[in-house]
Structure 1
Amino acid sequence: MNRGDEKRIAVRMAKTLAMMCVRNTGLETLHAGVVPITHTGDYSDVRVIDADGREIAWNDVSHLDNDQMRALMKEIVNRLYTFNISIDDQEFRDRVDRWARIADRWDEPDPDLEFFRKLAEED
């Protein structure tokens, strides 16, 4: 297989996995709700007041707690696992093909140049 075919397959797989295994998870709950208005464009002018009356800059606020992060990651891992163990099932592959056609409309991915650096730091 040539490099162009490998790239085309990798692009389609990345978008399909994101569509089927990451989108429509707990991320949707995080995305739901009222989006604050920012006049600066970077949310540095937005503040949150917590139950103790502390004023916290929007950019410093954690938008999910450890339990929410754990639940989100478990949901995504479960979906990726289910995807991987189901890929030999023809009915499932037909569904993957339908979702892939939708994901094909998404923007093309870019290589994440920080990916390997961050992994190396965590070793």
Structure 2
Amino acid sequence: MNPGDKDQIAASLAKVMAMMCVRNTGLEALHAGTVPATRTGDYSDVFVLDADGRRIPWSEVSHLDDDQMRDLMREIVNRLYTFHVNCDDPEFLHRADRWMTVAGKWDEPELDRKFLGGISYGSDNPGK
């Protein structure tokens, strides 16, 4: 297999997995709702007033709590696991191909060097 084919397969797989395993999860609840207006374009003029009367800049507001993050990550991990376990099932592959018609219209992915740089190979404390 030539490198171009390998890259194209990886790109298609990344897009269909993002569509099937990440989109339409609890992430959609975070996306739902009213988007605040901003005149600066960077939301530096947007604040949240909480129940204790604190005026919190939008950039400092947590948009989900620890339980929501845990639930979202569990849902995504379960979907990724299900995807991998079923990737040799012809019916599943047929459905994945149908999802690819939508995901295929997305921008082509790019290699994320920041992600690679953030991974400590051989680290005793992954994620720390």
Task: State the TM bucket, normalised to the shorter chain.
Answer: over 0.9
Tell me by how many angstroms 1:8 deviates.
0.4
Task: Write the mapping of 1:26-105 to structure 2, written as runs, cut at 5 A.
Answer: 26-105=26-105
Structure 1 runs of 4+ with >4 Å offset = none
SS in 1 for 2:59: helix
Distance in 2 between residues matched to 1:87 and 1:7, nearest whole Å: 19
TM (norm. structure 2) is 0.93
Q: Distance in 1 between matches of 2:33 and 2:45?
A: 19
Partner deviation per Cα, 1:73-113 (whole Å, 9 max, x = no partner): 00000000000111121111100111112110001111111
Q: How far apart in 1 are the matches of 2:8 and 2:108?
A: 10
Aligned length: 123
RMSD: 1.2
Higher helix fraction (1 or 2): 1
Matched, 1:7 2:7: yes
Identity of aligned residues (%): 62
Paired position in structure 1 for 2:17: 17
Runs of 5+ unmatched residues, structure 1 = none
TM-score by length of 1: 0.96
